[in-house]
Structure 1
Amino acid sequence: MATVLDGSLSAQELADMLPTGVAILNQNDESIMVNRRFRELMTCSGARSFECWSQSIHPEDYDRVATAYFETSRSKHALRIEFRTRSRIPLWRVLMLAPLDNADLHRLNLSNGGFICTIADITHEKTAELLQAEIAREAQERKQQQERFIDMISHEVRNPLSAILHCTEDILEAVKDKEKPVADIAQAAETISFCIAHQKKIVDDVLTFSKLDASMLTLSPRRGQPKRHLARTMSIFRPELRKQDIQFEYKLDNSYADCGIEWVLADFSRMGQVLINLVSNAIKFTARADSKREIRVSIGASTKRPPSYPPNVVFFESGEHALRLDATTTPEWGESPVAYVMVAVKDTGIGISDQAQKRLFERFNQATPRTESVYGGSGLGLNVSRKLCHLHGGEIGASSREGEGSTFGFFFKVRRDTEPPSLNLPNYDESEIEHLCGGIQALSNKATGVNSRKKSPEIPEDPIITHIAEISPGAASDDKYMHTLELAHQAKPDEPSASDRQILHPDLDVDEPSNSPGTSDSIGVESDTKATRHILVVEDNIINRQIVSRKLQSLGFHVSEATNGQEALDAVQRDEFDCILMDQEMPVMNGTSATMAIRNLGSDYTADIPILGVTANVRATQQIEMLDAGMDDIIHKPYRTNDLYEKINQLIILRSTK
Structure 2
Amino acid sequence: MEDFSRKAITLRSYFLHHIKDPITRALTFTYLLSVSLTILKIIVILPHFSNDTFRIVVFAVVSATAIFLCARAAKGPHLIRRYYHFGLMVYVGYLATSIFLLSKGINISTLQEFYLVIMWSFFGLGIHWGVLYAALTIGMAVVFLVYSNQSITIIDLLPPHIPFWTAIFVIITNFILAIFSLYTYQRAIAKTSAEKTALNKQLNKLLDAKTDFLSTMSHELRTPLNSVIGITNLLIDENKDESQNEDLRNLRFSGESLLVLINDILDFQKMDSHKLEMELIPFNLSDLLEDTCGSLKTKASEKKLYFEVSSDPRLTSFEVIGDPTRLTQILFNLASNAIKFTEVGGIKVSCQLINDEDNQATIHFSVEDTGIGIATDQQTAIFEPFIQASRNISRKFGGTGLGLAIVKHLVNLHGSAIHLKSTQNMGSSFYFDIVYKKYHRNLTLQRPLSTPNSRAISKESLKGLRVLLAEDNQMSILFMKKLFAKWEIEPDTAANGQETIDKLAQHAYDVILMDLHMPVMNGIEATAYIRSLQDPSKSRVHILALTASVSDEIIANIKLLGFDDYLGKPFRPNDLHHKLEKILRNQLS
Higher strand proportion: 1
Higher helix proportion: 2
Work out whether the TM-score is over 0.5.
no
TM tier, shorter chain?
0.3 to 0.5
Larger radius of gyration: 2
TM-score scaled by length of structure 1: 0.33
